[in-house]
Amino acid sequence: MNYRYSVLTLMSALAALSLFIDQTVAQNPTHAVAPTITEYDVDPAWPQRPESISGAGWVSGLAVDDKDQVWFFRKGPDPVQVYSASGEFVRSWGKDRFLNPHQLRIGPDGNIWVADFGLHVVQKFTPEGELLQTLGVRGEKGDDELHFNMPTDMVITPKGDIFVTDGYGNRRIVHFDKDGKFVKAWGSYGTEPGKFVLPHAIQLDSQGLLYVADRNSARIQIFTQEGELVDQWSNLIMPWGISINKKDEVWVCGSSPHWWVRDGKAPEYKDQLFMRFNTDGRVQQVWSIPLGDIGENKDKPDVSRLKPGEAVGVHCIAQDSQGNLYVGDIYGERAQKFVPVTQRAPAKSK
């Protein structure tokens, strides 16, 4: 037997088989190998809001507690609403207590913190809605140790210290101890590192570093708790909302970068993006959802035009222990749940 001829024949056959498989996969994508991409599908049945609870108003703040309950803060008749991960209604409170709800966070002790830029205050509540603490003077704006000027967000350290993005008016970070005593403030208006165009959201990683979404300058700035600038990530996303999970994954929602004012106009959104970073600033994941249609007047949106999974103003983002993403939408006036998908059933042949 001519072994050399047999080996050559076998190699030729294997090459032909490989080419056939490649062509088959290309022509029949349902037979392709498993993807390495995680997609996110919207859950159109989440949440199951009771008829007695209003669905009107911006959803500007959102957080997930240690029971995977989703809390969101909205500018409407029922501002604080809580749902389970599967969508069941848990509770609502806050009627007639807020003017311009902006962000909601959950402290290490499980208490609820909210920022109201219309009332110029940051407040701490029990999960049932009992007021425990107020920072700032209700209804009064200022730039001293006692006042805010339209605060946007807050984060609470494991020791109880509070860091507030005093954002729309003062463009600074304000630090208080656990008793609400002023410690220090830093930052001013500007594009230089360490300054802010609009400090819109703030979060804390496991090492105690502060991540500030400086929205209108399309960057995230990282600081020590003493106010020392550590790093900045620029030209990646217009960061409206930011959250950091227990794995130190930094989730950011917003839109692709653009000049905030161009030709005399401020086009807030050109698209709708989610991005995941590690704490070194490396991008780990990018996902987009369709920009919806709410009509010509965003201040009076026709939300009936929106389809599940679309948004017009992603403003806040959080992840639960199962990897589900929850996103609050201002002009679309809703919170949505996005479920990670790594496998799909093969398409049925026609």
Lowest mean pLDDT among 52-56, 68-72, 266-270, 302-306: 266-270
Count other Cβ atoms within 10 Å, centred on residue 309. Answer: 16
Decide: 211 and 204 in contact? Cβ < 8 Å: yes
What's the whole-number mean pLDDT along residues 275-301?
96
DSSP code per residue over 240-306 = EEEEE-TT--EEEEEE----SSBTTB----SSEEEEEE-TTS-EEEEEEE-B----S-TTS--GGGP
Residue 15, classed as helix, strand or coil, is helix
Residue 162 pLDDT exceeds 90: yes
Exposed, middle or buried, 93 (CB in 10 Å: 0-12/13-18/19+)?
middle
CB proximity list for 299: less than 8 A, separation 6 or greater: none
Residue 280 has φ and ψ, to the nearest 5°, of -90, -5
Q: pLDDT tens for residues 132-146?
A: 999 999 999 999 999
pLDDT attached to residue 7:
46
* CA pair distance 72, 85, nearest whole angstrom: 13
Name the phi and psi angles at 12, rounded to 5. -65, -40
- DSSP label at residue 35: P
Cβ atoms 45, 334 nearer than 8 A = no
Say what percent of the chain tops pLDDT 70: 89
**Strand 80-83 with 210-214, pairing:** unpaired
Backbone dihedral angles phi then psi of residue 5, each to the nearest 5 degrees: -65, -40
Cα–Cα separations (whole angstroms), residue 159 to 115, 163, 177, 179, 206: 20, 12, 9, 11, 13
Q: How far apart are CA 310 and CA 61, in angstroms?
A: 18
Does 232 score more than 70 pLDDT? yes
d(CA 132, CA 124): 5
pLDDT (average), residues 237-263:
95
Tell me the whole-structure pTM to 2 decimals. 0.90
Q: Which pLDDT score, from 0 to 100, does residue 16 have?
A: 56
Over 70: is that where the pLDDT of 110 sits?
yes
Q: Which pLDDT band holds residue 344 (cuts at 50, 70, 90)? A: confident
**Can you give the pLDDT at residue 345?**
81
Architecture of domain 39-341: 6 Propeller (2.120)
Sheet holding 199-204, edge to edge: 199-204, 210-214, 219-223, 229-234
CB atoms closer than 10 angstroms to residue 150 = 18
Q: Give the model's confidence band at 265: pLDDT under 50 very low, under 70 low, under 90 confident, else very high.
A: confident
Domain ranges within the chain, ordered by starting residue: 39-341
Q: State pLDDT tens for residues 3-47.
A: 444 544 545 555 555 555 455 545 555 555 677 899 999 999 999
Burial pattern 186-217, b for ≥16 Cβ within 10 A else e, equals bbeeeeeeebbbbbbbbbbeeeebbbbbbbbb
- Taking residues 117-124, what's their average pLDDT? 98
Span 114-128, average pLDDT: 98
The yes-or-no verdict on residue 235 having pLDDT over 60 is: yes
Q: In whole angstroms, how large is the CA radius of gyration of the chain?
A: 24
Instruction: Name residue 340's amino acid.
Output: P
**Cα 331 to Cα 348: distance, rounded to the nearest angstrom:** 38
User: What DSSP character marks residue 167?
Assistant: T
Mean per-residue pLDDT of the chain: 92
pLDDT digits (tens, 9 = 90+) for 164-208: 999 999 999 999 999 999 999 999 999 999 999 999 999 999 999
Burial class, 180, CB count within 10 angstroms (exposed 0-12 / middle 13-18 / buried 19+): middle
The string of pLDDT tens digits covering residues 79-98 is 999 999 999 999 999 999 99
